[in-house]
Structure 1
């Protein structure tokens, strides 16, 4: 069993962390300068796991997660990093692995380079945790399909250029009755909604997407008709395994922040670090971080070696999301008044971390996945 990193992996992490800190040093994009999305493209994040022949980095799950961890640690805008992760794992990867060669060549280089923003449209008003009963339908017509219905909580939805969506094509076929599609924003009948006013991750705009007799050519089908559920779950494997590395980076940044604070801050004539109640709380933050990190790396290893990754993906998603929330709460408490102020940035981590326990399958859904894997 090997716990070390190669020289190239160490260098990639250090270089990415430094570049992310420099690119997102709390200063908004200067007029005429590169936009935040293009900065992420420069860091290699938008196409990290996409094959190199389509403009991506060609990285495996572990190296992709490590890259995302560095950006999550170096970039204070968690919502932006999450938006990029959804773009990569829930959209670029299904196109790379199940799209036609025409779709791959037309879309992936521009998605990896930051020219196109992608959104995954799966969730519906009555299909959140249970995505096996989609109300959005795709009716076969000459040359393709007509999509009808509304998706909601579509990350990047209000600003996306391309959508990966799923619809029911055969209501009688159960889990084999849904199909995946790629839909361009300018397709007649597609209407993005206004951004939701969310608790956290505000840089990742989310909203509804409505389809009204929206024609999608047959060439824009992902895989084969009826494979939608399998393709979606495959993309969720990437998302649940790799995306949450950004919350490892967030936790690392929080630990650094509170350690620096308690070493410097003095109360009752002593450093805060000298109080056991304070130091032990930080130890718990570190324990949660490292435990979740090991589980996430284990899940990535399972993906890279073609081992069945469901169990460890669910365990790591559960552990990392819950620990991010718990550690964000601790960070706010340890910083006291400073942690409560918006200008400090720590309260944003708390709001952002709340979403981690909900999206990509709630914590209770992850527990259910683990229970099924245990044969319960």
Structure 2
């Protein structure tokens, strides 16, 4: 196996690192503006894996992950990285793969450019990890469908222009009775809640979305009626792999920050990096980073080869999530009291890392998926 990046991959990564650092320097105020979205679109960060004919980059999973990793490495605002990734992988990917020709031509260019923002509306108040029992219903009527029910924790929900959502269209068929929809966020019957007050990822506004007799035309069904579960699972593969590449970038930044601090910070007349307790902690952080990175690259390579990639993706997501939380806690310990203060940004990386073990399927659910793939 070749573990070296090609010249093209290296050049693309270096360009993203440079451009993102210039566009979103440290100290960038939390919160995503429309200008931020247009800037990300101009840098190719919103349509990396979308077809070039719709304004995307046309890249495969591995090359996309390399771009998002560089984005997460250079941008200290992890909430912004998350918002952009949720937009692309949970929303743009299913539109590109399953939307009608009319929808793809009219919607994807504005989504790739940042002219429009998409929100992912899947989670419900009584349906977190179990997405097979959706309470939001879709009733077929002449020319389309009528949606009713509430979604929670909708990433980009309070600020988006479009929503990708899923509803039960035939309650007797279980997961085979779900349908995916693209909904205009300003359509009659869409009620968006206020942004939630969250621990971290502040630049990714999230909130509830309620559908009250909301009409969605037939041409905005994604895929065929009844295939919503398959549409969702396909997008989850991209999200669990490529979105989490941004956290590989964060882990890389954590190791660099801790290594530099341990060389410069002195205690008892010595650099603290010379103390075994500190140096071993940083080595553990490096080990988690490289292990998670290899698992994620392998999962993306498997996706590019057309394989199911269910087990590799679950293992990669699990490894990145657990590494992010554990290493962020280790970074606080390395920085000591300064790690608890806001000035150095270490506590922000911890807050932004905690939800990784929850969204896109909890760590426990990834273990369940892996167990099933192993035949257990």
Q: Given the alignment of the two structures, is residue 4 of structure 1 paired with residue 23 of structure 2, yes or no? A: no
Q: Which residue of 1 aligns with 2:315?
A: 315
Shift of residue 36, structure 1, vs aligned partner = 2.0
Count of residue pairs brought into register by the alignment: 373
Q: 1:28 and 1:293, CA in 2 relative to 1: closer, same or farther beyond 3 A? A: closer
Q: 1:273 and 1:309, CA in 2 relative to 1: closer, same or farther beyond 3 A? A: same
Which structure 1 segments of 5+ residues have no match? none
Q: Which residue of 1 aligns with 2:189?
A: 189
Shift of residue 28, structure 1, vs aligned partner = 4.0
Shift of residue 27, structure 1, vs aligned partner = 4.5
Shift of residue 43, structure 1, vs aligned partner = 2.0
Q: Which residue of 2 aligns with 1:90?
A: 90
Q: Which residue of 1 aligns with 2:169?
A: 169
**Aligned equivalents of 2:63, 2:205: Cα separation in 1:** 27
Q: Given the alignment of the two structures, is residue 244 of structure 1 paired with residue 253 of structure 2, yes or no? A: no
Structural mapping, 1:2-41, within 5 Å:
2-28=2-28, 35-41=35-41
User: Contact (CA 8 Å) 2:28, 2:77: kept in 1 or not?
Assistant: no
Scaled by the length of structure 1, what TM-score is found?
A: 0.98
Shift of residue 39, structure 1, vs aligned partner = 2.2
Q: Which residue of 2 aligns with 1:224?
A: 224
Q: Which residue of 2 aligns with 1:44?
A: 44
**Aligned equivalents of 1:43, 1:315: Cα separation in 2:** 30
Structural mapping, 1:339-350, within 5 Å:
339-350=339-350
Q: Which residue of 1 aligns with 2:275?
A: 275
Q: Which runs of 4+ in 1 moved over 6 A?
A: none
Give per-residue Cα distances to partners, 1:19-62, cap 9 Å, x unaligned.
Answer: 11111112448xxx982222211221100000000000000000
Q: Which residue of 2 aligns with 1:298?
A: 298
Secondary structure at the aligned position of 1:342 is classed as coil
Aligned alpha-carbon RMSD (Å): 1.1
Secondary structure at the aligned position of 2:86 is classed as helix
Q: Which residue of 1 aligns with 2:134?
A: 134
Q: Which residue of 2 aligns with 1:66?
A: 66
**Aligned equivalents of 1:353, 1:86: Cα separation in 2:** 15
Q: Which residue of 1 aligns with 2:255?
A: 255
**Aligned equivalents of 2:168, 2:23: Cα separation in 1:** 42
Q: 1:20 and 1:333, CA in 2 relative to 1: closer, same or farther beyond 3 A? A: same
**Aligned equivalents of 1:13, 1:57: Cα separation in 2:** 14
Secondary structure at the aligned position of 1:224 is classed as coil
Secondary structure at the aligned position of 2:108 is classed as helix
**Aligned equivalents of 1:61, 1:159: Cα separation in 2:** 27
**Aligned equivalents of 1:327, 1:91: Cα separation in 2:** 30
**Aligned equivalents of 1:73, 1:364: Cα separation in 2:** 27
Shift of residue 198, structure 1, vs aligned partner = 0.6
Give per-residue Cα distances to partners, 1:168-196, cap 9 Å, x unaligned.
Answer: 00000111100000000121000111000
Which structure 2 segments of 5+ residues have no match? none
**Aligned equivalents of 1:45, 1:311: Cα separation in 2:** 27
Give per-residue Cα distances to partners, 1:237-267, cap 9 Å, x unaligned.
Answer: 1001111000000010111111111101100
Secondary structure at the aligned position of 2:343 is classed as helix
Secondary structure at the aligned position of 1:25 is classed as coil
Q: Which residue of 1 aligns with 2:354?
A: 354
